[in-house]
Chains A and B, each alone.
Chain A
C-alpha cells in the first residue's frame, strides 16, 4: 500500500465520503446534540474514540471471529467501548455527560460505527482500519461542528465555550446582539432539521454541479475527438 492510498483512507471520510452529508448516516445525533458547538464537538470526540478503537480491535480479531457470529461480536466490542466512554465522560466531563444524556449509550447503534466495522475493518489490516476509523469520525465531528456552529451562532449570536467541555476558562466568542443572530428556532429541534436540510441541499448541489461539469467535459472531449477524426479524415 502506498502513501497516497494511506492518505486516502484517512481523508475520504472527511469530505468525499462524509458520513453525515454524503452517506446520510448518524442522523440522530446530528440533529439532537448540535444545538451548541460544544455538545457537537463533545459528541464528535466520543465518536472519534469509539470508532477508531472499535475499528482497530475489530480489524485485529477479524480472522478469529466466525462469520456467523460476526455482528453480535462486533456489537459487544462497540458496546464495551461506548460503556467505557460513558463512564469516563460521567467522571471527567459531567456537564457534557448531562447534556448528551441518552445519546451517549445510543452511539452503540450509530450506523457509522457498525457500518465501518462490517464494510472496512473486517476486511482490512489494522493500520488502514485505524486511518479509516479516525477519518470517518473526524468527518462526522466536522459535520456536527458545522451544524452546531450555524445553529448556535445564528440562534444565540455567539459561541459559548467551557460550559459543557472541561476547559480551564469559560466565555463566549463573537458576541453579537443583532436580532439577525438571535433566531430562537435554530437552537430548538426544528432548527436542527432546517439547517441539516440546507446543508444537505448545498452538498447535493455541489455534487450535481460536479457531475454536470464532468458530463460537459466528456461531451466536449467526445466532440473534439470527433472533430479531430473529421479533420484527420479530411486530411486523409
Chain B
C-alpha cells in the first residue's frame, strides 16, 4: 500500500511542478506571442496593399467570415478590405484571407493557417489563385476542374461568403454600374451643409464625387462628375422624382427644374461640390453661403504666434463685409493694437484694391497673411 501511495504522490508532485512551470513560462510568453501574431497579420495586410499604414477591423456576424479589416494609407485613403474566413478543407480548418480593392475586385487570396497536405495545397495556391485575382467579387468564375478538391472548395466557400457580405455595398455596386474607373476613395470631414462627401480617386486624380444626402429619414447617393449628376438611388424615395432628376442628366445645376425637396437638396449639394472644387488647393478649410446671398470663407492665416483662423464674409458682388477672428494664436495685445485697426482700414478702403500689407500700418506677419487670404477669397468669389 505504501509503495502505491508513494507512486501516486510522486506522479502528482511531478505533474504539479510541470504544470506550474508551464504556467509561469506561458505568463511570460503569451503577450509576446500575441504581439508576434498581430504583427504577422499586419505584414500580410500590407503585402496585399503596399503603402498601407493603418488597419481597422470590425467583427462580422456570419457563419464563415469572422472579421472585416479596412486598410488605409497615411493620408487615410481606403486602399482595400480584407475579409477573414474559416472553412473546412480536407485536413481540417483552413483560415483564409480574401483581399478586395475598394471596387470589390479580388486583389489576392491567402491561406494563413491550415492542416492540408502541402503537396496538394501548394500547387493549388500557385496555379489557381492567380485566376481569381482581378475578378469582381460579385461575379467570380472558378476553375471547374480544381473545384473537385476539398481545399479549393474551402477557398470557394470563403470567397462566396465574402461576396454575400461585400456585394451588398451599394457604393461598390453603383460605381460598377456607372463604370466609374476608380481605385480608391477618401472620406472627407463633413465641412459642408448638405453633404458628407467622398472623393472617388483614380491614382491621385479625382474622377468623381460620391455624395450621401440626408433627406428626412432617407439617404440619397449621388454621383457628381463636373456638374453632371448621374444617378441617385434610394429604396423608398419617390421614384418619379428620381427619374425626373436623372432625365436632366448633364444639365447645369442652376438650370435644374423642379421644386420638390429632393431636387432642391441636389441643387444645393451640387453647388457645394462646385464650391469645394474651387476651394481645393487654397488655404480655406470651409466655405458656405450666408443668408444675405454672400459667402463666408473660413481660412487659416499664419501669424506671428501661429495659425490664426479667420471667417471672411464677402458680399454677393465680392466686396469685403467682415473679418472675424475665430482662433487667435497671436498675443491679444498685439492683435488688438495692430491687427484689428488694419482689418478696419481694409474693410473701409475696399480690400480688392489692396495689394500691399501697408494697410496694417506695418508689414507684420499676421497682417500679410490676413491680407493674402482676403485676396484669395475675393479671387475665388470672382471665379464663381
Contact = CB atoms under 8 A, between A and B. Distances in A.
Contacts of B29: 87-88, 90-92
Contacts of A73: 10-11, 14
Contacts, number: 52
A87 B29 CA distance: 7
A29 interface: no
Interface in A187-227: none
B26 A87 contact: yes
A79 B18 contact: yes
Interface stretch (B32-40, B256-264, B357-365, B376-384): B32-40
B11 A72 contact: yes
Given A76-B15, A84-B25, A88-B25, A94 B40 contact: yes
B6 interface: yes
A77 B26 CA distance: 17
Contacts of B40: 94
Give chain A's interface secondary structure class.
Answer: helix
Interface in B2-30: 3, 6-7, 10-11, 14-15, 17-18, 21-22, 25-26, 28-29
Contacts of B17: 80
Nearest to A64: B10
A91 B18 contact: no
A76 B11 CA distance: 9
Nearest to B24: A84
A109 B108 CA distance: 40
A76 B28 CA distance: 21
B11 A77 contact: no
Contacts of B18: 76-77, 79-80
Nearest to B21: A80
Contacts of B32: 91-92
B14 A66 contact: no
B25 A69 contact: no
Contacts of B21: 80, 84
Interface string A42-84: 0000000000000000000100111011001100110110011
Contacts of A87: 22, 25-26, 29, 33
A80 B22 contact: yes
Contacts of A79: 18
Given A66-B7, A72-B11, 7 more contacts: A69-B11, A73-B11, A80-B22, A87-B26, A87-B33, A90-B36, A94-B36
Interface of B: 3, 6-7, 10-11, 14-15, 17-18, 21-22, 25-26, 28-29, 32-33, 36, 40
Query: Which 10 A-B pairs have CB atoms at the shortest separation, nearest pair first?
Result: A91-B29, A91-B32, A80-B18, A87-B29, A94-B36, A84-B25, A69-B7, A66-B7, A91-B33, A90-B33
26 contacts: A65-B14, A66-B3, A66-B7, A66-B10, A68-B7, A69-B7, A73-B10, A73-B11, A76-B14, A76-B15, A77-B14, A80-B22, A83-B22, A84-B21, A84-B22, A87-B22, A87-B25, A87-B26, A88-B25, A90-B29, A90-B36, A91-B28, A91-B32, A91-B36, A92-B29, A94-B36
